[in-house]
Structure 1
Amino acid sequence: MSSSVSRLLLCCILLSYSSTDAATESKRTKPENVLLSSVNASLQLVKSALHHTEKSTNYTESSCLQMFAFSRRAATAATQGISQAAEVFQMTLRLLTDKASRRQKRSVSVAELLSTEEVELIANLSGCPPVIQPATCPRGEDSEKYRTISGVCNNRKEPLWGAASTALARWLPAEYEDGESQPRGWNTGRHYSSFQLPPVREVSVRIMQSSGQVALEDEAYSQLLVDWGQYIDHDISFTPQTLSKVAFLEGHHCLQTCENSDPCFPIQIPLHDKLFGSKSCLPFFRSSPVCLSAPTQQMLQRQQMNSITSFLDASTVYGHSVDIENSVRNLSSPEGLLVVNSKYTDRGGHPYLPFVNSSRSACFQQPGSGQWERVECFMAGDSRVNEILPLTALHTLWVREHNRLATRLKQLNTHWSSETTYQETRKIIGALHQIITMRDYVPKILGKQAFDELIGPYEGYDEFINPSVSNVFATAAFRFGHSTISAQMKRLNQSFQEHPQFPSLNLHQTFFSPWRIIREGGLDPILRGLLGRAAARQNQQHLMTEELTEKLVVLNIPKALDLAALNLQRGRDHGLPGYNDWRVFCGYDRLESKADLMAVVSDRNLVEKLIDLYGHPGNMDVWLAGLVEDLLPGARTGPLFACLIAKQMKMLREGDRFWWERPGVFSPQQRVELQRHSLSRVFCDNSEVTEVPLDAFTVGTYPKDFLLCRSIPSVDLDPWKEDPEKDSSDLDSAEL
């Protein structure tokens, strides 16, 4: 929205509030002038910062800044528009409270300064979208059979629950130092339980990197368990960074300042840091704020966006908007297929993902490949597809699986249109994502006992459950997997030994490198590495590989970065409360002393360092605290993360109108067939891998624990065959 249009709209709305009461009119004149000038000033500040961001962006080939921007920027114009509107809204509140605080010579909050109507008005004028009303949700026909691509109207009474470009859910109120937007650690000298919070880089150096023992191998689970966790995380959450990389008020670029000024929240570097030397800070960009749909107390606090759908719906494959969906579909295909690469296939004729529509995309090129044709970034339903090679491989498998199933469904139902074939296939692929995640993955993470107690069997759809992914889940709990990332990506031959031509790679060599798939053996060596090697086993003596704390080179500056520090800073950026608040939320006692902490963290040396850094257990950042807890029996998480992950997964299941087990979504015969399918079978059907474990997430010895693909059960699509002469389908729709 342009500033001139906004100014005109503001005047019109303000005039509509006018009263014939002269006294009332006199009282309103000054606040309205302040409101008008603040909105206009915010529009100009945000517009100027975005202009300078674009002007200063270095689009040189394969720059790390470009790659991160490509991967982590809001994927659609609509989402970017919401992000910009939310920045204008936040800046207007900031300007208004700053003016009032200077005038009254004390700190003034938004709640005491503005009425609900005024806050709604500011949101309106900032460009925040109007609230979707339940009456606008379609009924009947396809709305009963297929979910919308954006997740809107999954819940007809609360259309935005779980939808793309909405706020991450808050299970506890945000904890900001000013109560509204300033992260913990923003103000120097602020104390918590009489102690200052330690800088996140110092925490990483003293806790994460000093736990430097050799990583243990998981005795039960394969590397695929780790990579599936990342893949499925990308199906349910994506919090984009702020669009601006320039401070709104001061005008400094975040790459060039060590001062906290929105959206810059730099990571301070301790003296004599062995990785960063004399640098004072590392740049860090805050997450994009989001417009809220209702005038609640949360509206007065900075909230963060989930730009994709919260549902387990295979948005990694199909996207979360009509524009993305259309870009990944082959719209001329009568079988409802997805687009594949027009230049390259693997040796078995299996297609690769299509390239992005850019002649010089951001991804790395093969060293010394001047004479070679460029290999651009791959395109998929999720823009993070190129971040790491195993993630790219999983994306590719599911595009192949869609096309395989769609082709077979069209053969069974020649009367189906391209659209029907596409939607039915998409529905099956979404169900398989749900089954593999909830049946095969989550119980291994939580342990069977915790899964049975905290999640249990499916009991049906509950329209009163909000399935939106929570802030603490996306920003802390589900990042437990970062501690299990291996320092190497294994590439194995047909005998599941080190590949003689394409050896294993250090982790940092796998980032943003699609050329390695095209020119170094395709998917198969990577897939065998995921199946044939054990995952890293996180423990209190080894919390994270140095590949992530010292060699992370693909984010927002062309230098090494530290994933542990980034995770800690992100939690503070999002206003996540401290450890004790989440313990109470999950029904556990607060920890008030070193002795209390030792009851949940058995490593005495680790406890000593934590108390030395934080002073009090309650001050601990929730991501780190959850990570260091003693693991539950048979689990890969401690009790706090088990609680938070289980709660989220149960809400994703019970709050989804299209969950695969809900009667009427599939017929009973279809549900039986879906349960026969597995990730091992997906590997078999879409690659040249010919031997797999029965459960792809379990690790075993080759060849003893592997089966030929012909022994792995596969789905029979005959229950999807329709008689075109019949008016009704076999779905038990009466159960809806």
Structure 2
Amino acid sequence: MKGFLCLIGALYLCSHSHVDAETHLSRRAIEKAVEEAKATVDSAYEYSRKQSIERVRTNAAKPSDVLRLLKQPVGPTRLAVRAADYMDNTIKLIKTSLVARQKRSINATDLISAEDLQLISDLTGCSAHQRPASCKTVSNLERFRTASSICNNRKNSRRGSSNTPFTRWLPAEYQDEISLPKGWDLKLKINKQLLPLVRQVSNHILSTKNSDVESDPLYTHLVTIFGQWTDHDLTFTPHSPVIRSFSNGIDCDKTCERTEPCFPIAIPTNDIRFVEHSEKCIPFFRSTAACGSGQTGHMFGASTVRQQMNTLTSFIDSGQVYGSDDTKAQFLRDLTNDKGLLRVNTAYTDNGRELLPFTNMGANMCATRARITNDISLKEVPCFLAGDERSNENIGLSSLHTLFMREHNRLARALAKLNPHWNGERLYQEARKIMGAYFQVITYRDYLFHIVGPDVIAKQLSTYPGYDEDVDPSISNVFATAAYRFAHLMVQPFMFRLNETYEEHPEYPSPLLHKAFFTPWRILFEGGLDPILRGLVGRRAKLNTQEHMMHDELRERLFEFSKELALDLASLNMQRGRDHGLPGYNEWRKFCGLSQPKNERQLKRVLNNKELAKSLLKLYKTPSNIDVWVGGVAEPFVKGGRVGPLFACLVATQFQRIRQGDRLWWENEGVFNEDQRESLKQTSLSRIICDNTGITKVPDKPFQFKSKDSYTECEKIPAFDLSPWKEEIE
């Protein structure tokens, strides 16, 4: 650092008479700054990688390690994140030098010339991740999606594609107006009031014992896990890859200090965790910044505030099955033959049916069997590999991943019989295209109706309006970070497993949720997919009520595999919203055209609950400061839905834009022919379950809870008609 400062002092050229003029740096000075920044970043990355792998390898991983490994950027995303870190640290080095010379606080990017900023961007690799992609060399652009959804929009080739920033529907509210989270300084007031600790809010507003959980009278647990499934098709926000501060080398796991990227969750002194474990904070890592945001944003014509990256595409395209970049997509394919199939497990089957392949990652987060069963003699297995990195998060989600991998392979084999002249690439792409359409139909026809209710569907999501290339389908930050996390309050404390008659499985009882995290071995050695899928369609979802919001499995035992302090999902959600600079509850109510309560009386009217309004204001003092996630989940449901008016608005608005901004939406003219569209209209999630498992009887509408006496025999559920895909050879 000292050498670089000397170099800057000797080589920077200044043609200004006041501090607002541009500063021009020599190429050598810039190169030196980039070299030093790269060395700092690479060192932090390598330290973090070794620490994480060692902890997992020796079974010493903490819950925070598991979360961090789960949210690590990989493949092209990791390259983009590293480039952003290179550039950000280069700017900070130069800023430090310029501040020292000017002897006053300045915004360095206001002084560095545009030419120098561009050079820094080029040298750090940021430019490559911002440059519009050329669509001229992309084959079959009119027929099939690219893995990353590059060129879905022909006018703006990166719009909606993976590894681009979340969009903002309202301006970010950072503490420093650029990048520091809300609440970074615990003593800084917002709207003339201090923000409460998120763990305080979790304890006083959301706390629910497992035994107090109420079950949903209408909907099955599949609604909950399908919500997670669709979320994992649309949003993934990577954490910073480092576990120690760039500026001072502090390990985030070993401190409660707030230093980038450490943003620990403080634990109140009267909290049971503080009293019994003497823990002062829960480790928390900031989401990584996107290239071209924060300190460097304006050079790309973007806002100078920090933006977070979405590693997934913004479209419903079954990316969680196939991956969202070309490298991952190729890796998931079975290229040992020309049949268009996805890879499967070569070591195990599920009663002869296919299972997901294993990962070859160095750190095995799924080596949980001995710890959970207290039997060190049992065999450990690796995690499953799927299109999304979170496929092992719980066995319900793992089961859906497995089910839909099987459905792709079933479709590819059926299409091969129908069109024996098709090669493997054509079979793969056609099956993938059908799968994407499946989930577009199921999500909009079946699932969203139960979430936002019929009135909102009629207003925003009824008849398809057609494709509009000017509609931006990009996922909004508030959707990913708050609104679409509503289903966290619909998760049951058990992952149910049922036998052939839909009773509790006698041999494989339903495990508590914290004993179903990262446990692919439960699928391999404890009865396979069928008991879990029966549990999803044959048991009720948890009902989110204002008295019983989030149970202990998620609030006190998240990723608990040992005696280490577990995570708290409610606190994580609120802290993540502050990390991303999300505006408060009233700003989003205003965005949706809803009233903005100013006092307890008005808040009571919005929530229809005097005690809840009083409890929230005791913590926040003003409704405007309420974290949008907790405010949203506290609202009473809209008619026929499972979210309140605010989240109904935000969720519906997002899905409205996803559909209208998708050039390859299944109903758009030319994507499928008329006969194919008629066939897709008959898509049945029940039929997919029947075709790919040993289950013989299912509810015909698996999102709706019904008595098992009313279930339908699989043989009576119409098969999906593939005949419109038969291609006549001329």
Per-residue deviation, 1:22:
12
Matches within 5 A, 1:162-181: 162-181=160-179
Matches within 5 A, 1:340-419: 340-347=344-351, 349-358=352-361, 361-363=364-366, 364-366=368-370, 367=373, 370-419=376-425
| Aligned amino acid, residue 357 of structure 1 | N
Matches within 5 A, 1:569-580: 569-580=575-586
Question: After superposition, what is the alpha-carbon deviation per residue over 1:196-230, rounded to whole angstroms, capped at 9, x for unaligned?
Answer: 00111111111111698822211111000000000
Matches within 5 A, 1:698-713: 698-703=704-709, 705-713=710-718
The percent of aligned pairs where both chains have the same amino acid is 43
| Aligned amino acid, residue 350 of structure 1 | R
Change (3 A) 1:41 1:599: farther
Of the structure 1 ranges 58-67 and 533-542, higher mean CA displacement relative to structure 2 is found in: 58-67
The question of whether the paired residues in 1 share the 8 Å contact of 2:129 and 2:291 is answered with no
The question of whether the paired residues in 2 share the 8 Å contact of 1:386 and 1:512 is answered with yes
C-alpha separation between the residues in 2 aligned to 1:389 and 1:298? 41
The question of whether the paired residues in 2 share the 8 Å contact of 1:454 and 1:643 is answered with no
2:45 maps to which residue?
50
C-alpha separation between the residues in 1 aligned to 2:138 and 2:391? 35
2:304 maps to which residue?
300
Of 213, 216, 222, which aligns to 1:215? Answer: 213
The answer to whether the aligner puts 1:722 opposite 2:719 as a matched pair is no
C-alpha separation between the residues in 1 aligned to 2:597 and 2:86? 40
Give the secondary-structure state (helix, strand or coil) at the position aligned to 1:220: strand
Give the secondary-structure state (helix, strand or coil) at the position aligned to 2:217: strand
C-alpha separation between the residues in 1 aligned to 2:548 and 2:40? 45
Matches within 5 A, 1:319-718: 319-347=323-351, 349-358=352-361, 361-363=364-366, 364-366=368-370, 367=373, 370-553=376-559, 558-703=564-709, 705-718=710-723
| Aligned amino acid, residue 291 of structure 1 | C
The answer to whether the aligner puts 1:198 opposite 2:196 as a matched pair is yes
Change (3 A) 1:338 1:221: same
C-alpha separation between the residues in 2 aligned to 1:445 and 1:720? 33
Per-residue deviation, 1:663:
1.1
C-alpha separation between the residues in 2 aligned to 1:637 and 1:650? 17
The question of whether the paired residues in 2 share the 8 Å contact of 1:49 and 1:244 is answered with yes
Structure 2 regions of 5+ residues with no counterpart? none
| Aligned amino acid, residue 354 of structure 1 | P
Per-residue deviation, 1:91:
2.9
Per-residue deviation, 1:361:
2.5
The question of whether the paired residues in 2 share the 8 Å contact of 1:498 and 1:504 is answered with yes
The question of whether the paired residues in 2 share the 8 Å contact of 1:67 and 1:554 is answered with no
C-alpha separation between the residues in 1 aligned to 2:187 and 2:142? 56
The answer to whether the aligner puts 1:60 opposite 2:45 as a matched pair is no
Change (3 A) 1:122 1:585: farther
| Aligned amino acid, residue 42 of structure 1 | A
| Aligned amino acid, residue 690 of structure 2 | C
C-alpha separation between the residues in 2 aligned to 1:89 and 1:132? 13
| TM-score computed with the length of structure 2 as normaliser | 0.91
C-alpha separation between the residues in 1 aligned to 2:600 and 2:279? 34
The question of whether the paired residues in 2 share the 8 Å contact of 1:134 and 1:156 is answered with no
Per-residue deviation, 1:48:
2.8
1:268 maps to which residue?
266
Give the secondary-structure state (helix, strand or coil) at the position aligned to 1:560: coil
Alignment RMSD: 2.9
The question of whether the paired residues in 2 share the 8 Å contact of 1:111 and 1:300 is answered with no
Of 241, 244, 253, which aligns to 1:243? Answer: 241
Per-residue deviation, 1:528:
0.5
The question of whether the paired residues in 2 share the 8 Å contact of 1:137 and 1:159 is answered with yes
Of 161, 182, 194, which aligns to 2:159? Answer: 161
C-alpha separation between the residues in 1 aligned to 2:138 and 2:258? 52
2:285 maps to which residue?
285
Per-residue deviation, 1:67:
3.9
Structure 1 regions of 5+ residues with no counterpart? 726-736
Give the secondary-structure state (helix, strand or coil) at the position aligned to 2:406: helix
Give the secondary-structure state (helix, strand or coil) at the position aligned to 2:205: helix
C-alpha separation between the residues in 1 aligned to 2:418 and 2:620? 63
Change (3 A) 1:272 1:102: farther
Give the secondary-structure state (helix, strand or coil) at the position aligned to 1:535: strand
C-alpha separation between the residues in 2 aligned to 1:590 and 1:212? 34
C-alpha separation between the residues in 2 aligned to 1:340 and 1:165? 27
1:142 maps to which residue?
140
1:230 maps to which residue?
228
Of the structure 1 ranges 582-591 and 120-129, higher mean CA displacement relative to structure 2 is found in: 120-129
| Aligned amino acid, residue 300 of structure 1 | T
Per-residue deviation, 1:334:
2.7
C-alpha separation between the residues in 2 aligned to 1:397 and 1:662? 27
C-alpha separation between the residues in 1 aligned to 2:632 and 2:575? 15
Question: After superposition, what is the alpha-carbon deviation per residue over 1:629-662, rounded to whole angstroms, capped at 9, x for unaligned?
Answer: 1211111011111111111101111111111111
| Aligned amino acid, residue 353 of structure 2 | H
C-alpha separation between the residues in 1 aligned to 2:137 and 2:299? 28
C-alpha separation between the residues in 2 aligned to 1:138 and 1:599? 56
| Aligned amino acid, residue 283 of structure 1 | P
| TM-score computed with the length of structure 1 as normaliser | 0.91
Per-residue deviation, 1:90:
2.6
Change (3 A) 1:258 1:321: same
Question: After superposition, what is the alpha-carbon deviation per residue over 1:231-254, rounded to whole angstroms, capped at 9, x for unaligned?
Answer: 110011111110111011110100
C-alpha separation between the residues in 1 aligned to 2:319 and 2:271? 41
The question of whether the paired residues in 1 share the 8 Å contact of 2:22 and 2:111 is answered with no
The question of whether the paired residues in 1 share the 8 Å contact of 2:699 and 2:708 is answered with no
1:314 maps to which residue?
318
C-alpha separation between the residues in 1 aligned to 2:31 and 2:424? 52
Change (3 A) 1:555 1:508: closer
Give the secondary-structure state (helix, strand or coil) at the position aligned to 2:384: coil
Of the structure 1 ranges 671-680 and 589-598, higher mean CA displacement relative to structure 2 is found in: 589-598
C-alpha separation between the residues in 1 aligned to 2:249 and 2:130? 36
2:82 maps to which residue?
84
The question of whether the paired residues in 2 share the 8 Å contact of 1:260 and 1:266 is answered with yes
| Aligned amino acid, residue 708 of structure 1 | E
C-alpha separation between the residues in 1 aligned to 2:40 and 2:381? 39
Per-residue deviation, 1:126:
2.6
Change (3 A) 1:199 1:41: farther
| Aligned amino acid, residue 84 of structure 1 | R
Change (3 A) 1:607 1:679: same
C-alpha separation between the residues in 2 aligned to 1:272 and 1:22? 56
